[in-house]
Structure 1
Amino acid sequence: MAISSSKKPHGTPPPDPMPARVDPCIAMLVDKPPKGPEWAFEVKWDGYRLALHIEPDRIRIITRGGYDWTHRFPSITAETRQLRLKTAILDGEAVVLDEQGRSDFGMLQRALGRRPSAHEPGEIILFAFDLLYLNGRDLRRLPQRERRRMLEPLVAGHEGAIRLSEEVQADGDEFLRVVCELGLEGIIAKHREGPYRSGRNDAWRKITCTRRDSFVIIGFEPSTVTDAIGRLLLAARRGGELVYVGGCGTGWTREESVKLRELLGEIETDSPAVNLKRKGAVFTEPFLVAEIAYRAWTEDGKLRHPSFKGIRERADDLTIYELK
């Protein structure tokens, strides 16, 4: 008599269902790079976070917020077909590079804009840095080092619209120093043993480059809700003249903002130090200097992510930022 067995024959496990969308892993902002061999480092790209979904019958490009922007990235979509992958989800950042190879968010926005621009959608590059799903297997529970090992042969060596975000074997402090000297956004540190977790967590850490310089205060925009400063208007020097470089609206307490408005109110003028027209702005004599921390310069010569650090009198023009 035959004896039945409840054991199933050995074979290929059933495929993992492919997620329709994966909320991205978000790096936590920290002041210093972590130490130790368990950390891997990459350049922090300044662009749009995207998930590239590859299926047998379609390609989808999903934004961090869950929007389908496939139609806005035709060059990435076209190159995806050359990867010859059956099913996959790649995590990466879409950027436009300047002449020095640095990602520039302003250039990316213009390339995606509806208005005519010097930058075209074909200039947009996806730097892939993680692999979440491949050929029927959900990889998110694997450690970062293993996902990275599987990603590299898929995109390494590509120099078109999809490229590998290189992993750097280096001391974090030294890598950050070099990246900042090159004018890049910063670095990302990833724990090699960490699985892929959606949302913000410290298995991924970002360390940004900041600059700090002195700029002349040429006016301010009043706060719309309190008797305080809403935004400082700032200028740098070019030759013997002052040039407007944008505004700063963060970095002070409410009490500091009120005192700052009182101080600037004593040097108001009807003759702006620069040729600038802004509705509601109050212009001041260029007697005071603000210490400003910021990340970079925009393509049109304005401060990016400025933050107020302090104020002093314009005693020494040599300390004022000089535009090239």
Structure 2
Amino acid sequence: MMRPRRRSLPLLDKSHSTLQSRPMRKRDPDQPSLPFDPMPSRVEPCLALLKPTVPFGPHWLYEVKWDGYRLAIHIEPKGVRIITRGGHDWTPRFPTIAAAATQLGVTTAILDGEAVVLDEQGRSDFGALQRSLGGRGGKRVSQESLLYAFDLLYLDGHDLTQTELAVRRHLLEDLVPEAGSGAVQLSEELKFDGRQLLDQACNLGLEGIIAKHRDRPYRGGRTGDWLKIKCVQSESFMIVGYEQSASARGGIGSLLLAGRQGCDWVYVGSVGTGFSAKDAEYLKRALDQLRTNKPAVSLKGKRFVFVQPTLIAEIEFRGWTHDGNLRHPSYKGLREVQDNAAVFNVTDIHSAIDS
């Protein structure tokens, strides 16, 4: 049975009033007609650059950082396509989002957003989203997921990627109902002081916030136009082995993790918390099929089992030790290959430690 859709947890100001986006504005009827642009089959997504502090000033807007799968929703006369960050077609896996997109009343559009499943407190839960899809490599469809749309890249035959974010948001707010309850909702701009907003987000157990420059066009990659400021850090790491345990349920005491350095793998520590007995049993079965006598990292241990670098884990952690290992890591789940998860580059460790 499909559960009632939950609203996301609101952020509150000091008076405990819900923070609201700017009021929705009507489109300008005098906007000049522009020549039609061909609709791209895919747009390289703009990615947020991790920063330790919140930027300030009128040129920045803030949103909640959602914890799910990045998707582009292509609305065309012949139907809707849902494309992952890596360019894979996942339309069949998100039928409720696809159905909601057809009801937006637009002929052609490309929405940029994040598919999430909300927990009982209204927070995005990456593990719940994975379970709704049947786990890594699963073929289930997600009925519980919804899309938080935060950008509009194409509309009614016009390519919007070269226009500034403020214009794109203006058009998006007209297209996606504000404070809606459907499977496509607006990721609202939060009008609040950045420092206080981050504190509030962290107190509510959210992952963090996103800061975006209002005056910039939409550019693929990590350009610095979008920044992510996290309450707790979370990155993707390659599983290169596991430590056997006779006492732990599932037979896995911890997972051995590595980051990327050029074409090589560099050990960044192990994680032994965050996975259930069921997770451990699945991981052991999957990893035992990948066993190798040629470790991807230089590491020795009597109970270590090394595997081919194939499975990517999302890890939540509290920072880095000075010898380059993760501090207080916790396992969140496996990333899909189709999600094009970028394994953490260890050259970024030094800047993370210095910050």
- TM bucket (normalised to shorter chain) is 0.5 to 0.7
Q: Percent of aligned pairs with the same residue? A: 52
CA contact (8 A) 1:27 1:200 kept: yes
Corresponding position: 1:184 with 2:181: no
Corresponding position: 1:196 with 2:218: yes
Are the structure 2 counterparts of residues 188 and 84 from structure 1 closer, same or farther at C-alpha, using a change threshold of 3 Å?
same
TM-score, normalized by length of structure 2? 0.59
Of residues 43, 47, 51, the one that matches 1:22 is 43
In structure 2, the residue matched to 1:165 is 187
In structure 1, the residue matched to 2:155 is 134
CA contact (8 A) 2:60 2:213 kept: yes
CA contact (8 A) 1:220 1:230 kept: no
What amino acid sits opposite 2:43 in the alignment? Answer: V
Unaligned runs of 5+ in 2: 1-31, 234-244, 246-252, 259-265, 275-279, 281-296, 307-319, 334-343, 350-355
Are the structure 2 counterparts of residues 220 and 45 from structure 1 closer, same or farther at C-alpha, using a change threshold of 3 Å?
closer
Secondary structure at the aligned position of 2:106 is classed as coil
Corresponding position: 1:206 with 2:228: yes
Distance 1:154 1:201 in 2: 27
Q: Matches of residues 86-97 of structure 1 in structure 2 within 5 Å?
A: 86-97=107-118
In structure 2, the residue matched to 1:272 is none
CA contact (8 A) 2:116 2:147 kept: yes
Distance 1:153 1:23 in 2: 24
Distance 1:77 1:232 in 2: 39
Corresponding position: 1:72 with 2:93: yes
Distance 1:147 1:66 in 2: 22
Corresponding position: 1:85 with 2:106: yes
Secondary structure at the aligned position of 1:199 is classed as coil
CA contact (8 A) 1:53 1:61 kept: yes
Are the structure 2 counterparts of residues 294 and 50 from structure 1 closer, same or farther at C-alpha, using a change threshold of 3 Å?
farther
Once the 2 structures are TM-superposed, how far is the Cα of residue 210 of structure 1 from its aligned partner? 2.0
Once the 2 structures are TM-superposed, how far is the Cα of residue 185 of structure 1 from its aligned partner? 1.0
In structure 2, the residue matched to 1:122 is 143
Corresponding position: 1:145 with 2:166: yes
Once the 2 structures are TM-superposed, how far is the Cα of residue 154 of structure 1 from its aligned partner? 1.2
Of residues 120, 127, 133, the one that matches 1:99 is 120
* Larger strand share, 1 or 2: 1
Are the structure 2 counterparts of residues 230 and 56 from structure 1 closer, same or farther at C-alpha, using a change threshold of 3 Å?
closer
CA contact (8 A) 2:92 2:141 kept: no
Corresponding position: 1:111 with 2:132: yes
Distance 1:223 1:84 in 2: 46
Are the structure 2 counterparts of residues 223 and 295 from structure 1 closer, same or farther at C-alpha, using a change threshold of 3 Å?
closer
Distance 2:156 2:201 in 1: 35
What amino acid sits opposite 1:23 in the alignment? Answer: E
Distance 1:222 1:44 in 2: 28
Distance 2:210 2:82 in 1: 23
CA contact (8 A) 2:64 2:209 kept: yes
What amino acid sits opposite 2:130 in the alignment? Answer: Q
Once the 2 structures are TM-superposed, how far is the Cα of residue 74 of structure 1 from its aligned partner? 0.4
- State the structure with more CA Rg: 1
Secondary structure at the aligned position of 1:31 is classed as coil
Once the 2 structures are TM-superposed, how far is the Cα of residue 73 of structure 1 from its aligned partner? 0.5
Distance 1:54 1:140 in 2: 16
Once the 2 structures are TM-superposed, how far is the Cα of residue 122 of structure 1 from its aligned partner? 1.2
Number of residue pairs matched? 240
Secondary structure at the aligned position of 2:47 is classed as strand
Unaligned runs of 5+ in 1: 1-10, 212-217, 237-243, 245-256, 269-277, 282-289, 300-304, 310-324
